[in-house]
Structure 1
Amino acid sequence: MTSPFSLPAILNPPLTGREAVVDAMHRCVMGFDTDDTALFDSSFMPDGVFEVNGRAMKGLPEIHAIGLAIIFKLDTTHLVTNVRVHMRTGTSKSGAAEEENEASLTATVLSQHFDRGKGMEPDQRNLLSGTLYRGELIRDDVDGLWKFSHLQIKSTWVQGDYSVVGGDFSKQE
């Protein structure tokens, strides 16, 4: 589903360098917050790994069936800060430097979770979490967007009711 609060995955003018890498993070969390599957998918390689507190989901079908099935049934807000990016270049067979096509990213994220439609009601159960994100990204040859090949999320603290997200996510089967 698209949302009036989502911009297209490919922006005009096109982003470059670190800004383009960071945009993968923004597409990911804005996809969470607006239930925009296409925007979320634009931030992941089709065979990417999405890991939350040690629970790994491999490939977009599994990520959709497990991770997004939980996140998209909630009202969420994800605030991303302290983003750092490390760009990597390779070398071609001739020894010439290649364009930067791999990157690592770290960030700190505050995430608020409410039951769908309950976020504006007083005294609702909710879960606030402070998390660290670590991502490995590659530039997709097809559309030129930076995408996660692996995104690891580690909660460092939570406050509230874990049942909002179906219990301790790291222990779900």
Structure 2
Amino acid sequence: MSQPTTLAGLTPREAIADAMYRCVIGLDTADLPLFESAWSKDSPVLFDMGTGAMHGLEDIKSKLYNFIAPLDTHHNCSNVRIDAKPGAKTAYLTAYSIAQHHRAGEGVDTSTKHLTSGAQYFLDVVEDGDRVWRIKEWRMTVMWLDGDASIVGR
């Protein structure tokens, strides 16, 4: 079941953070419309994990979404900081993430291999014409890994 791509009553700061949340929830629930709603439609988009940049939404979907969305995953984002001037159409967001990755169907089996990662996120976001914030650039620095990296194809 697809989740709504916009939420009523968000403050400007909550709406900025919601771009990141729509992306990771879209990954965790394999909700492609929610994932796509997180990305800018009016400007080129970039996602860089430090292992090679992905340019454009189709590249991001084929190299990120198509590998992660089928897995049993959970991205927990915290320490969100937002730099946005009142009335601006651009903002900068940083956050920490701890993400659990399990092969599809194995997430609740405690005997299976998994990969846990700790990362820092650095996002440039833009407000589009319908007052929804979307990701223009996402740079990620993986700080640590624990477990079997082959779960995510590394």
TM-score of the aligned structures, taking structure 2 as reference length? 0.93
Which residue is 1:84 aligned to? Answer: 81
Please identify the structure whose Cα radius of gyration is greater. Answer: 1
The answer to whether structure 1 residue 30 and structure 2 residue 25 are counterparts is yes
Q: Deviations over 1:79-99 (max 9, x none)?
A: 01000000046xxxxxxxxx2
Which residue of the other structure, out of 105, 113, 119, is the alignment partner of 1:117? 105
Q: How does 1:33-112 map to 2 (within 5 A)?
A: 33-46=28-41, 47-88=44-85, 99-112=87-100
Letter in 1 for 2:134: K
Q: How far apart in 2 are the matches of 1:35 and 1:53?
A: 24
Stretches of structure 1 that go unaligned for 5 or more consecutive residues are 90-98, 168-173
Q: How far apart in 2 are the matches of 1:38 and 1:51?
A: 21
Which residue is 2:125 aligned to? Answer: 137
Letter in 2 for 1:22: A
Q: How far apart in 1 are the matches of 2:63 and 2:51?
A: 14
Q: Deviations over 1:11-58 (max 9, x none)?
A: 123x23211101111111111110111111111113311111242111
Residue 78 of structure 1 and its aligned partner are, at CA, apart by: 0.4
**RMSD over aligned Cα atoms:** 1.3
Q: Deviations over 1:67-120 (max 9, x none)?
A: 11111121100001000000046xxxxxxxxx2111000000000000000111
The answer to whether structure 1 residue 163 and structure 2 residue 150 are counterparts is yes
TM-score of the aligned structures, taking structure 1 as reference length? 0.83
Residue 121 of structure 1 and its aligned partner are, at CA, apart by: 1.4
Aligned length: 152
Q: Deviations over 1:121-155 (max 9, x none)?
A: 131111000000000010011x3210110011111
The answer to whether structure 1 residue 153 and structure 2 residue 140 are counterparts is yes
Which residue of the other structure, out of 5, 10, 21, is the alignment partner of 1:9? 5
